[in-house]
């Protein structure tokens, strides 16, 4: 099994659509990220009535940050119908802000063909590179 299949399966393990309360649904989308250190973190989307929810990718990144990491190698997001999908704009921006090399993060766009793009392809001409020079 290749790493993309492994990440996909890890995301599927937590993808369980459920109602948390009358205001919150969770789990229709799941994500798995592989860090540069070789660890896998997962997360699910949390949809709220007030718009204060969180995407699955950002949930996985929060899990990663909680465990002291910030460098992502690969990302897989599984949408409700079981296909993979690209991260939304907010998740792309969050990833870009994590590390000066985040543009090299690989994102799976199609499981069957193993079509992959880098984050910098999805976020061309990103505004924040100069800030990393300050560190």
Q: Where are the domains of the chain?
A: 3-133
| Of the options 2.40.50.140, 3.40.140.10, 3.40.50.620, 3.55.10.10, the CATH number for the domain spanning 3-133 | 3.40.140.10
The pLDDT-based confidence of 135 (bands split at 50, 70, 90) is low
What confidence tens digit (pLDDT) does each residue in 79-104 have?
Answer: 999 999 999 999 999 999 999 999 99
Element (H, E) at 97: helix 89-98
The pLDDT-based confidence of 28 (bands split at 50, 70, 90) is very high
pLDDT of 133 > 90? The answer is: no
State phi, psi for 39 to the nearest 5 degrees: -95, 150
pLDDT over 90, % of the chain:
95
pLDDT of 12 > 70? The answer is: yes
Element (H, E) at 131: helix 129-133
CA distance 129 to 27: 33
pTM over 0.85: yes
Tokens of residue 68, six digits: 């002291």
Q: What is the mean pLDDT of residues 15-23?
A: 97
CA distances from 22 to 51, 66, 73, 78, 81 (A): 14, 28, 36, 24, 23
């Amino acid at each position: 099994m290749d790493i993309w299949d492994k990440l996909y399966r890890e995301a599927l393990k937590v993808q369980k659509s459920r109602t948390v309360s009358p205001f919150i649904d969770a789990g229709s989308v799941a994500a798995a990220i592989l860090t540069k250190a070789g660890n896998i973190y997962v997360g699910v989307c949390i949809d709220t009535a007030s718009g204060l929810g969180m995407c699955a990718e950002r949930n996985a990144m929060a899990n990663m940050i909680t465990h002291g990491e910030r460098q992502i190698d690969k990302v897989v997001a599984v949408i409700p119908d079981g296909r993979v999908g690209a991260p939304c704009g907010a998740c792309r921006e969050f990833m870009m802000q994590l590390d000066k090399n985040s543009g090299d993060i690989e994102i799976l766009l199609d499981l069957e063909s193993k079509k992959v793009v880098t984050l910098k392809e999805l976020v061309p001409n990103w505004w924040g590179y100069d800030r990393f020079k300050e560190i």
